[in-house]
Amino acid sequence: MPKHAHSPTLTKHHKIALAGVATLGAAALAFSAVPSSAETTAAGATQTAAKAAYGTAQVKDVTGKVTDQLALQNVKVEAIAAKTKASAHQLHAAHVKKVHAAHVAHVKQAHAKKLHAAHAKHAAAVKQAAAKRAAQQTASRSAQRPQIQQVAAKTYANNLDGWIHQSLDIMHSKGIPGSYNGLYRNIMRESSGNPNAINNWDINAINGIPSKGLLQVIPPTFATYHVAGTSWNIYDPVANITAACNYAAHRYGSMDNVNSAY
């Protein structure tokens, strides 16, 4: 009988097959033991022994074949079991891989949601800060508006005193120096306070550019030192005073420093 590393495990099917083989062997022995004719006792005994030996050999041969078949079946069963185990391992590995992929996808999705929430929060904070700045700027403009309206609403008398005060306010806003007394003194010397005064006899008149207005300014000087925001009419009292003071500031430092024709 062939030797194997491991004795084959007999299943119920295998046991039934062996029982059948044993039964067949016993039947062959019994059949061989019965004499068919009136032979002598010695001859019958010899024939019976020979048949018994032949039957035993057949049983051994059948048993060996069955054992070999059982061993082959066992090898096939083990191969199927190994293949099944390998398939189970592959299925398990695939399942683990699928679970890992699902976990990674879940983590990525959670991270994306977290980033989206952070961006939304930052955008809301930026928008809130912008709204706050806009509100502060609006409040600042509202606070400044009454002062601007107050300056715009300031009125001046339509006389020499009012003209001088209005001109001084414009001069101070433009950085032009001068005082009420300096303006008043030079106006009275040049025109006696007459805004329509004109000099038709001096060298400027001879040259065709007579001095005009409260501070007797010639047209080229008025045009050169005209102050934005005032009238372009040389006879306008405020425009005339402001342009003359601007010219005096550039040439003499201030109208306060002028004490004669300039």
Q: What are the tens digits of pLDDT across the range 98-133?
A: 877 887 777 777 777 776 777 678 778 877 777 877
Q: Average pLDDT for residues 226-230, to the nearest whole number?
A: 97
234 vs 40, higher pLDDT: 234
- If one compares 125 and 240, the residue with the highest pLDDT of the two is 240
Of residues 41 and 86, more confidently modeled: 86
Considering 73-77, 128-132, 195-199, the range whose residues carry the highest mean pLDDT is 195-199
CB atoms within 10 A of CB 71: 17
Q: pLDDT tens across 10-37, in order?
A: 555 445 455 554 554 554 444 444 444 4
